[in-house]
Amino acid sequence: MCDTEVKMENYILEMKNITKTFPGVVALDNVNLSVCPGTIHALVGENGAGKSTLMKILNGVYSATSGEIYLEGTKLELKGVKDAQAAGISIIYQEFNLINTLTVAENIFLGRYNGKKTVKWNVLRDEAKKLIESLGFSFSVDTVVGRLSTAEKQLVEIAKALSLHSKVIVMDEPTSSLTEKDVDMFFPIIEKLKADGITVIYISHKLDEIYRLCDNVTVMRDGRITGNSAVKDITRDEIIELMVGRSLDMEYPARTNKPGEVVLHVEKLCRRNDLHDITFDLRRGEILGIAGLVGAGRTELAEALFGADPAESGDIILNGKKVVIRSTLDGKKNSIGLVTEDRKETGLVLPMNVTQNITITDLDKVTRNLVVRKSEEKVYAEKYVEALKVKTPSINQTMNNLSGGNQQKVALAKWLYYDADILIMDEPTRGIDVGAKFDIYCLMNELTAKGKAIIMISSELPEVLGMSDRVLVMHGGRIKGELTGEAMNAETVMKLAID
């Protein structure tokens, strides 16, 4: 990777034989990562490939089950974030580590204040100003961070990393919520960091950016390293092959049925600043994929259709009839179900049991003479636990004790129990294992064969392409394009998604 004559000790950072297991899952399997000083090193892989886990180990958030980390040849013992910072490693997460109510200057020096007991605001502000200016920008360091744009917050995080005299800065998908214009402004900053001798580990799955920016690339898949190369020596297709690694038809069951007539027509749906003129059709027996970056308005659209955060204008026409959806109850009455993106926070009632989480959508079905019949609930619960292959010791098990994949199946089961005709699935396979994923894909096929219509929102491009009959791409709260057939490929989707 580095020039061949460079010896091993010349790597600035080495992670050797890193293994990390969570109960029941091997997240990282004997991973080796070596980074040359003063380079921009890309780390790519699909969601769930283990990139984030690896970086959390590097940052001291997780401790590795086994393996060693060397920075400039010295072995590191990282007990927490502070240790990593002291050693010269900083991470900029997708969700920023900033306090919205405090100023830019203070956020840069959060929790440190130059090691003294009192704060010298003049010094603090001057230094913050210098850091921001050194990045080539000049905005007031007295602004409250909550008022900044995403790109500006990004800058504050970089300034914070610089103030820590970081040698290695890890950026976790920094452009995922930036506009094209912001990205153009952002790249020179990263190049400047490189020119100043700082090493950057750049996590992304946007190949364009990697070719534009990075020197070396490491590819991960399923908790392993599958490839290592200088960017100039590897083609796009090779990287994709290393990332995906298996043929698509193995991973996704074939779609067999053909979509029928239109069941849902959405016309010019608008809401505040996050949805603009959304117009599309959904057909019986169809899986409609919605692709786009984080913050493109996909979840917002789902919540508008379901009534969780209703649209302000525009029409929703269901089976030829205009309907008004002002609340989640309206959504449900119109036979729309939403499997939310965060099953723990909004999808399930974790302290309650499997049965109660399935029957939550329709207790009328199991109520006789005002009493909720546990015996009838049991019948339904057992039916869906079996149909969805939910692995649980009993239907009376508390949801807390189930694995992510099985929790997700229950979150889905409650809408099957309700028999919703239109199912909106927001990130249906996030954070669950391959087996459970395949089960859910098969189930989606079964449902559409029975005439249900599915809207699938997903950030995993292969999944969207592998499962959908048609794909809508969203950006900035608008639908940027509709893709079918040949046009449904990663490049086109990405082009539309990034704008």
Binding site for another protein (CB under 8 A): 61, 80-82, 85, 97-102, 106, 110-113, 116-119, 121, 144, 272, 306, 308, 327-329, 331-333, 338, 340, 345-352, 356, 360-361, 363-364, 367, 370-372, 400, 414
Min dist. Cβ of residue 332 to another protein (A): 3
Beta-strand ranges (E) seen in 38-87 are 40-44, 66-71, 74-76
What does the alpha-carbon distance between residue 390 and residue 3 come to, in Å, rounded to a whole number? 51
Q: Which is nearer to another protein, 8 or 352 (CB)?
A: 352
Taking the complex as a whole, the smallest distance from the CB of residue 113 to another protein amounts, in Å, to: 5
Rounded to an integer, what distance in angstroms lies between the CA atom of residue 161 and that of residue 167? 9
Least gap, CB of 163 to another protein (angstroms): 12
**Cβ 260 to another protein shortest distance, Å:** 26
Determine the 3-state secondary structure of 48 from DSSP.
coil
Nearer to another protein, 121 or 394 (CB): 121
DSSP 436-468: HHHHHHHHHHHHHHTT-EEEEE-S-HHHHHHH-
**Smallest distance, another protein to C-beta of residue 117, A:** 6
Whether 213 contacts 202, CB under 8 Å: yes
Radius of gyration over alpha carbons of the chain, in Å?
25
Query: Whose Cβ is closer to another protein: residue 22's or residue 121's?
Result: 121
User: Minimum distance from CB of 59 to another protein (Å)?
Assistant: 10
Tracing tokens 């060693």 back to the chain, one arrives at 68
Q: How far is the CB of 4 from another protein (least distance, A)?
A: 40
**Strand 371-372 to 367-368 pairing:** antiparallel
Contact between 154 and 173 (Cβ < 8 Å): no
- Please identify, using beta-carbon distances, which residue of 66 and 273 lies nearer to another protein: 273
Of residues 225 and 354, the one with the C-beta less far from another protein? 354
Which residue's CB is nearer to another protein, number 340 or number 458? 340
Q: CB of 475 within 8 A of CB of 499?
A: yes
Edge-to-edge strand ranges of the sheet holding 321-323: 275-283, 262-271, 313-318, 321-323
Residue among 221 and 414 whose Cβ is closer to another protein: 414
Give the integer Cα–Cα distance in Å for 141 and 129. Answer: 6
Secondary structure class of 435 (helix, strand, coil):
helix
Burial of 327-342, coded b for 16+ CB within 10 Å and e otherwise, reads ebebbbebbbbbbbbe
Collapsing DSSP to helix, strand or coil, 137 comes out as coil
Shortest Å distance, C-beta 370 to another protein: 6
Is the Cβ of residue 214 or residue 366 nearer to another protein in the bound state?
A: 366
